[in-house]
Amino acid sequence: MRRAALAIAVASACSFAFSGTMAKYLAGGGLSPMESVWVRMAGSALLLVGVLALFRPGALRVPRPRLPFVLTYSVVAVAGVQSLYFAAVARLPVGIALLIEYTSPVLVVLWVRFVRRVRLPRAAYLGAVVAVTGLAVVVEVWTGLSLDPLGLVFAFGAAACGAGYFLLSDGFGDDIDPLGLIAWGLLGAAVVLVPISRPWDIPWRAFTLTTDAGGGFALPVWAAALWLIAVATVAAYILGVIAIRRLSAAVGSTVGTLEVIIGAVVAWLLAGEALGFFQIAGGVVVLAGAYLAQRVTGELPQAAVELPEPARAG
The predicted pLDDT at position 139 comes to 65
274 inside domain: yes
Q: Which of 67-71, 266-270, 282-286 has the highest mean pLDDT?
A: 67-71
214 inside domain: yes
204 inside domain: no
Cα-based angle 189, 248, 286 (whole degrees, multiple of 5): 90
Residue-averaged pLDDT of the chain: 79
Query: 176 phi and psi, to 5 degrees?
Result: -125, 125
CA–CA gap between residue 232 and residue 265 (Å, rounded): 15
Question: Looking at the predicted structure, is the pLDDT value of residue 251 above 80?
Answer: no
217 inside domain: yes
Q: Residue 226, class by beta-carbon neighbours within 10 Å (0-12 exposed, 13-18 middle, 19+ buried)?
A: middle
- Tally of CA atoms within 13 A in the half-sphere of 96 that contains its CB: 20
What percent of the chain shows pLDDT beyond 70?
Answer: 81
pTM, whole model, 2 decimals? 0.76
CA–CA gap between residue 282 and residue 264 (Å, rounded): 12
Question: Looking at the predicted structure, is the pLDDT value of residue 91 above 60?
Answer: yes
216 inside domain: yes
Other C-beta atoms within 10 Å of 74: how many?
23
Q: Residue 142, class by beta-carbon neighbours within 10 Å (0-12 exposed, 13-18 middle, 19+ buried)?
A: exposed
What percent of the chain shows pLDDT beyond 90?
Answer: 19
CA–CA gap between residue 204 and residue 120 (Å, rounded): 50
Q: Could you tell me which of 155, 145, 151 has the C-alpha nearest to residue 107?
A: 155
Give the range of the structural domain holding residue 51, as residue numbers without chain letter: 2-198+210-305
- Tally of CA atoms within 13 A in the half-sphere of 124 that contains its CB: 25
313 inside domain: no
User: pLDDT tens-digit profile of 171-228?
Assistant: 666 788 888 888 999 999 999 999 989 999 999 999 999 988 777 788 999 999 999 9
232 inside domain: yes
User: pLDDT tens-digit profile of 2-57?
Assistant: 778 788 888 888 888 888 788 888 888 888 888 989 999 999 999 999 989 998 89
CA–CA gap between residue 154 and residue 152 (Å, rounded): 5
312 inside domain: no
CA–CA gap between residue 189 and residue 192 (Å, rounded): 5
Per the structure, the count of domains in the chain is 1
